[in-house]
Amino acid sequence: MKVLTKDPIIKNLIGENNFSDAAKQLFEIQKEQWSMLNSGFKSLATVKSKLFQFDGFKIKAQFNVGRMISTSAKVDPKSISERKCFLCTENLPEEQRGILYTDKYIILCNPFPIFPTHFTLTRKEHRPQRIFGAFSDMLDLSKDISRYYSVIYNGPRCGASAPDHLHFQAGNKFFMPIDDEFHQIKNEYGKEIIENDNLSVFAVDDGLRKFISIESLNKKLVVKVFKKFYNTYSELMNENQEPMINLISFYEEEYGWRIIIFLRAKHRPAVFFAEGEAKMLVSPAAIDLGGVCVFPREEDFYRITKEQIADIFKEVFVDEVVLKKLAEVIKL
């Protein structure tokens, strides 16, 4: 495959199973070779941000014009079927190179970054964005690049800009405030579901976000709890298709995996669809919910208030009843 890098340093790192440094090296090289990535990366230096302090956590608003296409992307089946898939290897830009991972995925640099180093991890073949069956791969990926990066997943109906092509994203650890604040949030707002030597599962409602967290060094246990969650949540939400979730997988050698499952009721808030003055271009997905809320239009960035951020977040999450029921069933 032409897209796969032949760089000898990267090949060496892959040979040592060091995908963290291989990915880091890919980003360094591609920045030099590929002008689109270079300008995307440079534009990050001019990104503006402002911080909203809530009780026990922060949400950063980021003005990032490079995210215009992604934030406003039309992801309805008709629009999707009428465009060329931008994640299929034959449609990637000429200069783009990637790293093959376990013969199933390709690690690519994202030319429209939010993270200082931002990757798209795409499935080699064109197949729909579905977490069931790919969750275990997500755990492996996040472990194998965990020296510097965490991995995120956006469901096909709540944030993925390619709902027809399976992909994850990865970016610098601790860039999203929740990476650092997780334990404080869990202690302050969490309700224990399962807690023993091998596994910790919590239901959390911090006033803005509702999520389930799974922590364990044991991959099988994480997968088992996730499957139970998935089935329960699908039933509760009365879904035949994938229930709306965004995931963050954060891995540390000493503690293992920490999965955050954001529980979504809505893809986009009402202000996204409003006309005129009331309109705000904001479309929350994993990174936004992790605490870096992206605004591609400057006017939205300047007028957004702490109260509005809180309202927008609350609006796109499930209600207390769903969280409570989920906790009850997962516990059994």
* Nearest residue (CB) to Zn ion, 80 versus 236: 80
* Nearest residue (CB) to Zn ion, 58 versus 126: 126
Task: Report in angstroms how near the CB of residue 176 gets to Zn ion at its nearest.
Answer: 27
* Site for Zn ion contains 165 (CB under 5 A): yes
Which residue from 3, 87, 212, 293 is in contact with Zn ion, where contact means CB under 5 A?
Answer: 87
d(CA 38, CA 175): 20
Task: Report in angstroms how near the CB of residue 245 gets to Zn ion at its nearest.
Answer: 21
- For Zn ion, the binding residues in 92-151 under the rule CB under 5 A are 126
3 state DSSP class of 204: strand
Helices 19-33 + 8-15 axis angle, to 10: 170
Radius of gyration of the chain, Cα coordinates, nearest whole angstrom? 19
* Nearest residue (CB) to Zn ion, 36 versus 88: 88
Buried b (16+ CB within 10 A) or exposed e, 133-151: ebbebbbbbbbbbbebbbb
Which residue from 73, 85, 217, 265 is in contact with Zn ion, where contact means CB under 5 A?
Answer: 85
- CB–CB of 208/59 below 8 Å? yes
Please compute, for residue 75, the number of CA atoms within 13 A of its CA located in the half-sphere on the CB side. 22
- CB–CB of 290/180 below 8 Å? no
* Nearest residue (CB) to Zn ion, 25 versus 161: 161
3 state DSSP class of 117: coil
d(CA 312, CA 269): 6
Task: Report in angstroms how near the CB of residue 84 gets to Zn ion at its nearest.
Answer: 9
Which residue from 29, 73, 88, 194 is in contact with Zn ion, where contact means CB under 5 A?
Answer: 88
Task: Report in angstroms how near the CB of residue 115 gets to Zn ion at its nearest.
Answer: 23
- How many residues bind Zn ion (CB under 5 A)? The answer is 5
Select the residue whose beta carbon is closest to Zn ion and give its number: 85
Token pair for 149: 């990066």
Task: Report in angstroms how near the CB of residue 122 gets to Zn ion at its nearest.
Answer: 8
* Site for Zn ion contains 194 (CB under 5 A): no
Closest by Cα among 93, 76, 104, 83 to 33:
93
Task: Report in angstroms how near the CB of residue 88 gets to Zn ion at its nearest.
Answer: 3
Residues at the interface with Zn ion (CB under 5 A): 85, 87-88, 126, 165
